[in-house]
Amino acid sequence: MASRRPRGPGPASQLPQQSEASSSTPYTDPFAGRGGRNPSRGEGHMGFSNRNTRPATNHPIRSRQGLPTTEPPSDHTSQTDEVIVSASSTVSYPLQAPTILQPSVAKAPDIVVLSSTSRRQNSYILCVSLLVAFLHTRHHVSFRACAVILMTLNIVFSAMPGNLLGGDTLPRSLTTVFAQLNLTDKFKVHPICYLCHKIFDPTVGSETICADCESRIFRPQTRSLFRRLFESAPAPVVAGDGDDDSEDNPSVGGSPHVVAPIQPLSDALRDLFSRPGVVPAVNAWKTREQTPGELKCMQDGEVWRTIKGPDNKSFFFEGNCDEEIRLGVTFSLDW
């Protein structure tokens, strides 16, 4: 193999002349076309190379003073090249070897198991409980449908690896969900006679009969297939008892025919005045300017001015109005 001829500095007249449109002259690779860089792939363009496969041979390079020198054989992956970019002045710029980024394999995140002693502290149980409560209150999903959702998700979570529930179990009914989330109603549900609309106390037994129309307040108990599969069996009948507590007795565990949610007025007023800014709002009518003949609010009406209290005096304009809060309550009935 013939040895390559060293490239000397030579006189300035032998160097390529600098063009007016460019302030630098491209560097000509002496190894172009000899198994070296491939210009079609961007290698050797403007004297810059992005390959590290140059053979480790002795070849001269141009130093900063323009004198030839010999480069010792070495691995080109650990050294830098110097490229001349100007013919008039010897200026060199180091080219760092390109860094090859190795593709990283994404690691799947580990499943974090929450250990808690309370069901409310488990995020999975809390999310499911909030979902079921929202479906019931916003979209009117029935109690039984919510129980089916809870039972299905409990089976799914129990079958998944990783023990997502942390040893706990999902609630089995919507009533338990409300109790765990501390969501309680501000009213009481009273059984009502479906014939005469008489209101009964919520604690009455399932055998209650209306004294006015002699009708049953509670309907007979019926155990559906869902209840037979997932609810416990009734308590056995004790020998000698006169009452039959089996499921053949229609008066055990039945639901009322008609119910009505009722909130006492005292509880409603207590909840109203617990809100900030209510007291100044209910007394604002006392200092409001009124124009005769103009009805702008309820206080401008005839009833507000003439209604009498227990002492047969004007209820809103008599007495110590500055120290008392007197309210007018309106009842609306729809039979």
Question: pLDDT 10s per residue in the chain (335 long)?
Answer: 455 555 555 444 444 444 444 444 455 555 544 444 444 444 444 444 444 444 444 444 444 444 444 445 444 444 444 444 444 444 444 545 444 444 444 444 333 333 334 444 478 888 999 999 999 999 999 999 999 999 999 888 888 887 777 777 889 999 999 988 988 888 889 999 999 999 999 999 888 999 999 899 998 876 666 666 665 544 443 333 333 443 334 334 578 989 999 988 898 899 899 999 999 898 888 888 888 888 888 888 888 888 888 888 888 877 666 678 888 888 877 76
pLDDT value at residue 121: 47
In angstroms, the CA 66 to CA 261 distance is 101
pLDDT value at residue 236: 41
In angstroms, the CA 189 to CA 217 distance is 14
Contact 33/19 with Cβ under 8 angstroms? no
Output the pTM of the full model: 0.40
In angstroms, the CA 9 to CA 12 distance is 8
Contact 49/110 with Cβ under 8 angstroms? no
In angstroms, the CA 258 to CA 193 distance is 7
In angstroms, the CA 243 to CA 237 distance is 8
- Cβ neighbours, 10 Å, residue 129: 23
For the stretch 296-334, what's the b/e string if a residue is b when 16 or more beta carbons lie within 10 angstroms of its beta carbon?
Answer: eeeebeeebeeeeeeeeeebbeeeeeeeeeeeeeeeeee
pLDDT value at residue 7: 54
pLDDT value at residue 245: 40
Query: Which residue in 54, 78, 58 sits closest to 68, CA to CA?
Result: 58
CA atoms within 13 A on the CB side of 232: 3
φ/ψ (deg, to 5) at 293: 90, -5
- How much of the chain is helix, strand and coil, in % rounded to 5? 25, 10, 65
Contact 208/218 with Cβ under 8 angstroms? yes
In angstroms, the CA 132 to CA 109 distance is 28
Helical axes 143-159 vs 123-139, angle rounded to 10°: 160
φ/ψ (deg, to 5) at 71: -90, 125
Distances (CA, A) of 193 to 150, 221, 250, 258, 269: 34, 17, 18, 7, 28
Q: Where are the alpha helices (DSSP H) in the chain?
A: 123-139, 143-159, 174-180, 225-230, 265-273, 278-282, 302-306
CA-angle at 53, arms to 51 and 59, nearest 5° = 105
- Cβ neighbours, 10 Å, residue 128: 20
Q: Is 62 helix (H, G, I), strand (E, B) or coil?
A: strand
Contact 46/93 with Cβ under 8 angstroms? no
